[in-house]
Amino acid sequence: MSASKAMDELRRRHPLQRLESPSRGFSGVLHVMGLLSFYTSFKFLTDNPNLINDSYGWHLQYLTIIGLSIATTCFIFGLFADITSSHLLFTIKNYLALVAAPIEILISMLYWGLRAIDTSLVIPPDLPMLPVLADFGFHLFPALLLAADVVLLSPPWPTSPTNPNASAIMLTASTMISFSYWYWIELCYSHNGFYPYPIFALLNTLQRVGLFAMSGIMFWMVGSGLRWIYAVVNGIEEKEKGE
């Protein structure tokens, strides 16, 4: 293989990527499947309107829908990268996935964990229960799809070599995201008079601060866990081994 071909191959696929991406093979199929799943979830919101549709903030009051929006944007860039083999679009997808994947996994953990304790903590009594498939579409499939994208189709962190400040960057980002969401739901509450998740109404201000701080820490832990799983599945770059 000539030097130029080797460079093209390296640019297209990092040595630690488990599967080729961007590509019109598995990578393209995964991104198409993800976008179809996300579209179905958004369509469910418009086909089954409730009081949230007409309230301030629409369904974007829910972390679930914010995460789904980021995941959709991430997979759109991923699919266009697959179609065009654009390294720029692929890089954008990878950085979006650094936020989208931990958020979706955290959403699944919090939602199913709280539902196991008491369904009324996450679903208001005046709203109907979601059908099982729709529930999975909102609270399970995105986490599985984003995790597969990060572990199988992305380079590490996603720069090469791995950023030595990766853990600190993730902790800072997770804290900012958590408290930005807190500000957003308080703004929505000031207009609507209710919180999107009933658990927020059961807590006082100090307890909500604690909840969002804990969520930020969990976000950081999920991101770190993804990086650990990536290393287990794909290995570690040689430069990292010597550090």
**135-145 average pLDDT score:** 97
Look at residue 11 and tell me if it is in a domain.
no
Look at residue 13 and tell me if it is in a domain.
no
Q: What residues make up the domain containing 136? A: 19-235
Look at residue 240 and tell me if it is in a domain.
no
Look at residue 3 and tell me if it is in a domain.
no
Q: Who has greater pLDDT, 141 or 160? A: 141
Dist. CA 205–CA 187, nearest whole Å:
14
Mean pLDDT for the chain overall: 88
Look at residue 228 and tell me if it is in a domain.
yes
Q: Would you place residue 145 in the very low, low, confident or very high pLDDT band (cuts 50, 70, 90)? A: very high
Look at residue 241 and tell me if it is in a domain.
no
Does 146 score more than 90 pLDDT?
yes
208: Cβ contacts below 8 Å, ≥ 6 apart: 182, 200
Q: How open is the CA angle 207-209-214, to the nearest 5 degrees?
A: 95
193: which 2 tokens? 């008079």
Look at residue 6 and tell me if it is in a domain.
no
**184-199 average pLDDT score:** 94
In what helix (H) or strand (E) does residue 121 lie, and over which residues does it extend?
none
Look at residue 43 and tell me if it is in a domain.
yes
Number of independent structural domains in the chain: 1
Amino acid at site 125: P
